[in-house]
Amino acid sequence: MALRLSLKSEAAAMSEINVTPLVDVMLVLLVVFIVTAPLLTKAVHIALPKTSATASTPQTRSVEVSMDAAGVVRIDQRAVSLPRLEDELRRLFEHDPQLTVRVYGDENTAYGAMARMMAVVQRAGASNIALVTLPL
């Protein structure tokens, strides 16, 4: 009987899986992924595609925000300064929260200037933004 009891206790001990090495490997893989993921996004160089413009669906009401090559910002053909743009758009969104902002940008406008203008439009509360292009 003593022999059988020792065999059962050894078999019971061998049936348990030690998960500590598995957890260690998974943590190392997680750390490697966390460290390498940001490096992958910064290393990608892309060439933006040229596509033909598609007809947009008709909207109920929209406002046009444009920036020319000289950096002059306009709301519906009315010149406005960039700091004042946010206040003007907020006032428009108070009357119509579903207002669509159609952004026109000159192809010779600096990318940074357009990015600043788009940030102002987003800060003003625009949820529907359409970038207007000409067909090829």
Q: What is the pLDDT of residues 11-55, one digit of tens each?
A: 555 667 888 999 999 999 999 999 888 776 654 454 555 667 666
Residue 60: DSSP 8-state: S
Cα–Cα distance between 125 and 39 in angstroms, integer? 32
Cα–Cα distance for residue pair 79/65, rounded to 1 Å: 10
Q: Is 77 left (phi over 0), alpha (psi -120 to 50) or beta?
A: left
Residue 90 CA to residue 99 CA, distance in Å, equals 11
Predicted TM-score of the model (pTM): 0.54
58: Cα within 13 Å, side-chain hemisphere? 1
Average pLDDT over residues 64-88: 88
| R_g (Cα) of the chain, nearest Å | 30
